[in-house]
Amino acid sequence: MSIVDAIILAIVEGLTEFLPISSTGHMIITSYLLGIHKDEFTKLYEVSIQFGAILAVVVLYWKKFFEFRRWQFYAKLIVGVLPALLLGFLFSDQIDALLESPATVAITMLAGGIILVFIDNLFKVHTIESDDQITFPKAFLVGCWQVLAMVPGVSRSAASIIGGMQQKFTRHLAAEFSFFLAVPTMLAASCYTIFLKDWNNGFIKRKGYEIIMESNQNFTSFIVGNIVAFIVAMLAIRFFINYLKIYGFRAFGYYRIIAGIILLAIIFSGMMEVD
């Protein structure tokens, strides 16, 4: 992976992580187009640069994250992240296998798009307007919806936002709670990827941080990628919240449908490998 490849993937991560269009799906497609999808460092990098993206949430909402007297806010995030932590640990290998599949991305992009087109009509009643009104059971149920995002192309943001609206959150609160829930979820995924997971780098099992530190290019890519993902994610979050207040989710649904159809056409034409 070159520095240019790293920057491109980081821009894709920052743009798509908090929009309901699937960052994982877009990075899988991007890495295929760049011809680096089989590189082990690429797979590590695609998860580890999420750290830069989650820092954007912490910075933008720093008052909530550093108001330590509101202990229930942190407790709700812990409850909400439990389903993803448990199932992620139990099905890590199966999830890794799905991450290799552009066909899975295409199908889930298409299905998720259809849902987003109609979501504003499906959930019209919004009685919960602030995170203080979110109960622990509701936080847990939103976390269960978030688990769906373990399938590439579903979108963690889309799944948790739909879960929030199903629990009668306003769409603004559903989006914000999705951002908040992303912090412990993605932090856990990044830490596992970097410090705990064994990667088969050159048929030798190594930890992620060892692969990152093994060359100046890997280390530079990791640092630059997280910085770029942080900056782009800040801009994307601001855009998404402002857009959502006025227009809702329909445009994102149409985008996903079009992207899914195009990707399926590319796969069936033989232009992209699916193994």
CA atoms of 182 and 188, how far apart (whole Å): 10
Q: What is the pTM of this model?
A: 0.88
Is 116 domain-assigned?
yes
Is 35 domain-assigned?
yes
Instruction: Please list the pLDDT of the chain residue by residue as tens digits (275 residues).
Output: 899 999 999 999 999 999 999 888 888 889 888 988 878 899 899 999 999 999 999 999 998 888 888 889 999 999 999 998 888 777 766 666 665 678 888 889 999 999 999 988 888 888 999 989 999 999 999 999 999 888 888 888 999 999 999 999 998 999 999 999 999 988 988 898 899 888 876 667 889 999 999 999 999 999 999 999 999 999 999 999 989 888 889 999 999 999 999 888 888 887 666 55
CA atoms of 160 and 149, how far apart (whole Å): 9
What sections of 49-101 are H helices per DSSP? 50-60, 62-65, 71-90, 92-98
pLDDT for residue 263: 87
Q: Which of 45, 41, 40 has the alpha carbon at shortest distance from 12?
A: 45
Is 167 domain-assigned?
yes
Is 274 domain-assigned?
no
* Beta strands 204-207 and 198-201, pairing class: antiparallel
The count of domains in the chain is: 1
- What is the domain range of residue 158? 3-268
- The residues, any chain, with a CB within 8 Å of residue 1's CB and separated by 6 or more, are 36, 39, 41, 42, 45, 217, 218, 221
Is 71 domain-assigned?
yes
Is 275 domain-assigned?
no
Is 273 domain-assigned?
no
Is 119 domain-assigned?
yes
pLDDT for residue 225: 96
List the Cα angle 71/75/81 in 5-degree steps.
150
